[in-house]
């Protein structure tokens, strides 16, 4: 029996993780957390019987306690609950399926308790990779990638010598607006941005895919996960999302991982690594597929990727500013308070205003996050509203 805990069990990655648990009776869920979706968390508790769960606020936790009066389950609100689930004594692996920088502290807490991490929450590694990767090495903990590109790279590295790697090739679908001009992007609506051509995901990452910010975050995530230089990472647009990413070796040989766009494969691979388990679902049909194609990303139109590369090169606290500004800008866009092209504008304004910290600790990172939000709320408000 492998015991797992999940942060963000009601989201896209969280619910797909629970589908895998349903199909594999040797997985047992001991802890779950959610933001505000009390109905779904209640259902999950009844089905998977964890002994500890958490919701974001206290009132919701009180309500859940009443609803689950017939069950033996402990309920702890907010950050305290996230930390308690991350640190649960009997869990062996923590799935970080929560969205945003709120994942930093629980991820660190879990590593300190020697839990392996099935990492979906890329924002954590982007902003605190310099803390998390050495800590994981020190504690002898594995960070197993769930992000499909990083899982593909991880799979393509199996059995190879790390010194023989020359380049990581991260594929990108290009999102729903691939091929559009800036003029066209100025007109796009929230509904258009939420229509990803290949993947079904949470709202925040779906918008990040439309701006190509997601690909920028993934470059930074890859740098930390695989310990390579930025100049060894190349983004390749591949609209069909069949090749999930590739590794080029010193002899020019390239190893890739392919499959239909389904997050359950990388989630399952992380949970059972190094084993593979059967999985139901559509397989790639090459006769039906016909062609796959490749392009260079258009960084002049999709400025979000260019800004991400600038933040990655600057390093220190700059990726935190990039990420925090993006989180805030995306939430304003989801609330229809800013336009699509204002997302990279807000990020750039925040990066330009920031005095970079060389080697930020967790406190510095969280303070920088708050300062970035405040900057957007105060100084830039009149510029960013419609």
Positions in the binding site for ligand NAD (CB under 6 A): 8-14, 33-35, 37, 56, 97-99, 102, 120-123, 147, 199, 201-202, 204-205, 263
Q: What angle do CA 206, 352, 330 make, to 5 degrees?
A: 20
- Rule CB under 5 A: is residue 221 a binding residue for Mg ion? no
Calpha distance 215→234 (Å, rounded): 10
Query: Which residue has 């930074």 as its token pair?
Result: 220
Q: Which is nearer to ligand NAD, 35 or 316 (CB)?
A: 35
- For Mg ion, the binding residues in 149-168 under the rule CB under 5 A are 149
Looking at 144-152, 187-195, 279-287, 331-339, which segment touches Mg ion (CB under 5 A)? 144-152
Residue 246 interaction partner, one of ligand NAD, Mg ion, none, beta carbon < 5-8 Å per kind: none
| Cβ-based nearer residue to Mg ion, 56 or 148 | 148
* 3-state secondary structure string across 24-91: CCCEEEEEEECCCCHHHHHHHHHHHCCCEEECCCHHHHHHHHHHCCCCCCEECCHHHHHHHHHCCCCC
Name the residue nearer to ligand NAD (CB basis): 33 or 268.
33
Alpha-carbon torsion (274, 279, 285, 289), positive or negative: negative
Contact call for residues 297 and 218 (beta carbons, < 8 A): no
- Least separation in angstroms between CB 199 and ligand NAD: 6
Instruction: Choose the contact partner of 202 out of ligand NAD, Mg ion, none; CB within 5 to 8 A by kind.
Output: ligand NAD
Which range, of 51-59, 143-151, 266-274, 308-316, touches Mg ion by CB under 5 A? 143-151
Residues 6+ apart with CB under 8 A from 366: 101, 104
SS3 255: strand
| Nearest to ligand NAD of 147, 345 (CB atom) | 147
Tell me the Ramachandran region of residue 4: left when phi exceeds 0, alpha when psi lies from -120 to 50, beta otherwise: beta
Query: Binding partner of residue 123 among Mg ion, ligand NAD, none, CB under 5 to 8 Å per kind?
Result: ligand NAD
CA distance 281 to 182: 38
Nearer to ligand NAD, 333 or 349 (CB): 333
Q: How far is the CB of 289 from ligand NAD (least distance, A)?
A: 21
Name which of 175 and 360 has its Cβ closer to Mg ion: 175
CB of 105 to ligand NAD, least distance (A): 11
Whole-number minimum distance, CB 355 to ligand NAD, in Å? 27
Q: How far is the CB of 330 from Mg ion (least distance, A)?
A: 16
Q: Least distance in Å: CB of 149 to Mg ion?
A: 5
Which of 102, 349 has the CB closer to ligand NAD? 102
Pick one of Mg ion, ligand NAD, none as the site partner of residue 345 (Cβ within 5 to 8 A by kind).
Answer: none
- Asked whether position 147 contacts Mg ion by CB under 5 A, the answer is yes
Query: Distance (Å, rounded) from C-alpha 381 to C-alpha 375?
Result: 8
Contact between 262 and Mg ion by CB under 5 A: the answer reads no
Count of other CB atoms within 10 angstroms of residue 381: 12
Residues 6+ apart with CB under 8 A from 384: 329, 332, 337, 338, 342, 345, 346, 376
d(CA 86, CA 108): 9
Residues that bind Mg ion (CB under 5 A): 147-149
């Amino acid at each position: 029996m492998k015991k797992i805990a999940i942060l963000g069990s009601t989201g896209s990655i969280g619910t797909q993780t629970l589908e895998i648990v349903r199909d594999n009776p040797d997985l047992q869920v001991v802890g779950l957390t959610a933001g505000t979706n009390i109905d779904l968390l209640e259902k999950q508790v009844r089905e998977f019987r964890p002994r500890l769960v958490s919701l974001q606020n206290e009132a919701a936790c009180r309500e859940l306690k009443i609803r689950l009066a017939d069950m033996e389950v402990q309920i702890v609100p907010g950050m305290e609950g996230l930390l308690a689930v991350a640190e649960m004594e009997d869990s062996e692996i923590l799935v970080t399926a929560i969205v945003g920088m709120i994942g930093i502290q629980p991820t660190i807490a879990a590593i300190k308790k020697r839990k392996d991490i099935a990492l979906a929450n890329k924002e954590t590694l982007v902003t605190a990779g310099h803390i998390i990767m050495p800590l994981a090495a020190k504690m002898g903990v594995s960070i197993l990638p769930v992000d499909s590109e990083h899982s593909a790279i991880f799979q393509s590295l199996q059995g190879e010598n790390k010194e023989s790697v020359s380049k990581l090739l991260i594929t990108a679908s290009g999102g729903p607006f691939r091929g559009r001009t800036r003029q066209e992007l100025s007109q796009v609506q929230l509904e258009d941005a939420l229509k990803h051509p290949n993947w079904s995901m949470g709202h925040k990452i779906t918008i990040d895919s439309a701006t190509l910010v997601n690909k920028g975050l993934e470059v930074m995530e890859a740098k930390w996960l695989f310990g390579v230089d930025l100049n060894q990472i190349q983004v390749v647009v591949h609209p069909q999302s069949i090749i999930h990413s590739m590794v080029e070796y010193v002899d020019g040989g390239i190893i890739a991982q392919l499959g239909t766009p389904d997050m359950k494969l990388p989630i399952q691979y992380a949970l059972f690594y190094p084993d593979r388990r059967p999985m139901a679902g559509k397989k790639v049909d090459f006769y039906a597929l016909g062609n796959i194609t490749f392009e260079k990303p258009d960084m002049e139109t999709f400025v979000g990727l260019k800004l991400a590369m600038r933040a990655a090169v600057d390093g220190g606290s700059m990726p935190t500013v990039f990420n925090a500004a993006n989180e805030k800008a995306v939430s304003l866009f989801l609330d229809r308070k800013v336009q699509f092209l204002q997302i990279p504008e807000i990020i750039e304004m925040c990066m330009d205003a920031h005095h970079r910290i060389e080697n930020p600790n967790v406190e510095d990172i969280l303070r920088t996050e708050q300062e970035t939000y405040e900057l957007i709320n105060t100084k830039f408000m009149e510029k960013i509203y419609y």
